Amino acid sequence: MSILTPQEQELVEMFTERLPKLLDDHPEHEPQLYHVFLRTFARKEEVAAVHHELVEFRQEMGEFQTSTREFQTGTHEFQTEMREFQTETHEFQTETREFQKETRENFARVDRRIDNLQTETREGWHWFSSV
């Protein structure tokens, strides 16, 4: 419990002791004082309305947090799939380069074989022509 200043203690005493006595002695001032309290303090209905709004706000925040978690989960899944796709793309590119290399080597062997056949054919013609 906090310690009250002398002014605060006097105010508490005024509300708890002197105000009830004043109203007992002079009930005609009750409407005036009641209106002052209404302007100063929130009514039960107002507090209930604020409480209701806070409950709704809390529910909305819960729904927002749920949506945010679902979005984060979806984002995580997307990132995982994207990494898998990138891995597969890299593997495909590697296989494509290997295929291109093998194709160039095969064509080079075919070209050499054709060159050898042409050479053998020319030499065969020369031998055949010379006979």
Q: What are the tens digits of pLDDT across the range 3-41?
A: 889 999 999 999 899 999 999 999 999 999 888 888 888
- Tell me the pLDDT band of 1, cut-offs 50, 70 and 90: low
How does pLDDT run across 90-111, given as a tens digit for each residue? 999 999 999 999 999 999 999 9
Share of the chain above pLDDT 70, in %: 95
DSSP conformation class of 14: I
Q: Are 4 and 12 in contact (CB under 8 A)?
A: yes
- Cα 126 from Cα 86, distance rounded (Å): 59
Q: Which residue has the higher pLDDT, 125 or 112?
A: 112
Q: What is the pTM of this model?
A: 0.47
- Cα 87 from Cα 79, distance rounded (Å): 12
Predicted pLDDT at 87: 97
Predicted pLDDT at 71: 97
DSSP conformation class of 43: -
- Tell me the pLDDT band of 131, cut-offs 50, 70 and 90: low
